[in-house]
Amino acid sequence: MKKALSIFAAASCAAGAAWADVTPTDNVTLALNMYSNQRARQIGDLLTVTVNESTSSSKTEALKTSKTAKADGSIPYFGDQLSNASGLLQKFHNNLTTDYLGKDLPIAEYKIDASSAFDGSGSSSSAEKLNVTFTVRVVDILQNGTLVVRGDRRILMKNESVNIVFTGLVRPKDISATNSIDSTRVADAHIYYENEGEVSRGTKPGYVWRIFQYLNPF
C-alpha cells in the first residue's frame, strides 16, 4: 500500500512539473497554431494568386464610296450676229462656218463623264488567355484593411524570357483558408505579361514593312 502511494505521488509531481513549464503565452501560441488559417494579413506576408484571365475581341470595318459627275454642252456660236456684216467681218464669218471644201464646220461640243469609287474593308480579331499561379507579397495596408499586393516573376528558358508583374487590392475576407485567391476577386488588378525572344520576334512584322504601312496613303 505504501509502495502504491509513493508511485502515485511521484507521477503527480512529474505532471505538475510538466504543466508548470507552460506559460499563458504558450497557451495562446498553441491555440493560434491549432485554429488559425495563416491567411495573409500583414505587410510582408505572402499570398498565392491564381491568374485565370482571358480576353477576346473582334472588329470589322467597311467603307464604300462612289461619285459620278456628268456634263455636256456646246461652245456658244455668235456667227448669226455676223451674218449681216460686210467686208472683213463677213469674210471672217464665212471662214468660221465653212471649210475650204464648202462643207459646214461642226460646232464644237464638249462632254464630261467622270466617276470615282472606293471600296475598302478590314477586320481584326484577337484572343488572349493567361493561366498562371504564383505568389505575391503584401506591400501595404489601406486604412480600411484592404491589402495592397505585388508580385514579380521572370522565367528564362532557351533564350526565351517571360516577365510577369501583378499588382492589385485584396480584401482579407476574400482570401481562402489555403491562403490563396483568384485573380477575378482582386480589385484594380494590373497584370503585365511580356514574352521576349526569337519566337516572339518572329511573329512581329519587320521595320521596313511597318514603315511602309505608316507611309502608305491608301
Query: Model confidence over 50-75: pLDDT tens digits?
Result: 988 777 777 788 878 888 877 776 65
pLDDT at 63 (0 to 100): 78
**Which string of DSSP letters, residue by residue, matches 137-196?**
EEEEE-TTSPEEEEEEEEEEETTEEEEEEEEEEE-GGGS-TTSEEEGGG-EEEEEEEEEE
154: left (phi over 0), alpha (psi -120 to 50) or beta: beta
pLDDT at 101 (0 to 100): 42
* Residue 102 DSSP SS3: coil
Instruction: Identify the H or E element spanning 10.
Output: helix 2-20
Nearest to 129 by CA among 210, 185, 201, 57: 57
Helical ranges in 40-142 per DSSP H: 88-97
Kindly give the pairing relationship between strand 46-74 and strand 180-182: parallel
Residues in a beta bridge with 53: 130
Q: Would the pTM of this model clear 0.85, i.e. be above it?
A: no
Evaluate if residue 97 carries a pLDDT over 60.
no
CA distance 133 to 181: 10
Sheet holding 187-196, edge to edge: 180-182, 46-74, 109-141, 147-157, 160-170, 187-196
pLDDT at 180 (0 to 100): 92
Nearest to 189 by CA among 217, 155, 210, 165: 165
Nearest to 184 by CA among 55, 56, 54, 51: 51
Higher pLDDT, 95 or 135: 135
pLDDT of 5-45, one tens digit each? 454 444 555 545 444 455 555 555 555 555 556 888 899 99
Average pLDDT over residues 188-194: 88
Evaluate if residue 91 carries a pLDDT over 50.
yes
Higher pLDDT, 15 or 196: 196
Evaluate if residue 137 carries a pLDDT over 90.
yes
pLDDT of 142-188, one tens digit each? 999 999 999 998 888 777 788 889 999 999 999 998 999 999 899 99
pLDDT at 41 (0 to 100): 87
The fraction of the chain above a pLDDT of 70, given in percent, is 55
CA distance 13 to 6: 11
Cell numbers standing for residue 166: 501583378
pLDDT at 90 (0 to 100): 59
Which amino acid type is present at position 39? R
CA distance 195 to 162: 5
Average pLDDT over residues 65-92: 62
pLDDT at 146 (0 to 100): 94
